[in-house]
Structure 1
Amino acid sequence: MSQIYYLIRSRADGRYLVAHPRVTSGTENNGYLLMFREDFDALSYLNTHGADVADQFAVESVAGSQIGSLLQRWSFVGVGIVQDPLLPKVEFLTNF
């Protein structure tokens, strides 16, 4: 059975919420796709860190088996699994 993850997506242009950690080499990248283990964690993140724009985003579910193709399609560097949506505490992975 596959793990389900929850992603935050813009209602306006369909882009996913991503993180761009500081890069010392100065190279640009498409960032890390932010993922949540529960839908309520994604909603908490939105309400805590973007309450004024939360209505412009939607939470969608995706099976873990689909993450690889999603990363490839959007050219993301990896994923950022949000461990605590209130702080936020994020675990960045390049091989998922």
Structure 2
Amino acid sequence: MSDGLLLLLALLAATGGMAALALAMQAHWRQVMGARRLTGEVQVTLRVLGAALCALSLALCVAADPASMAALVWPMLLMVAALLVAAGLTLHARARS
């Protein structure tokens, strides 16, 4: 698999992980799901899923680049993923208003 495709998959995994971690927070859950209640089981599941997806993105970065380069690329991917999720939550809030 090409390095570019591996990095794209790493970005997608990181974005999914950040989205899961964001939804594990009560405020973001209410913002997206409305009146539906966030149970403790769902919250733990979202946290585990978010951590697993972020770890998968690290593994994909290491597969694409040497470990020294992956150590630089992965935090940047996490930052981009976090910005995408934050922008998505903001746009979702504006669309609901």
Please, what TM-score do these two structures have when normalized by structure 2? 0.28
In terms of fraction of residues, the more helix-rich structure is 2
In terms of fraction of residues, the more strand-rich structure is 1
Larger Rg: 2
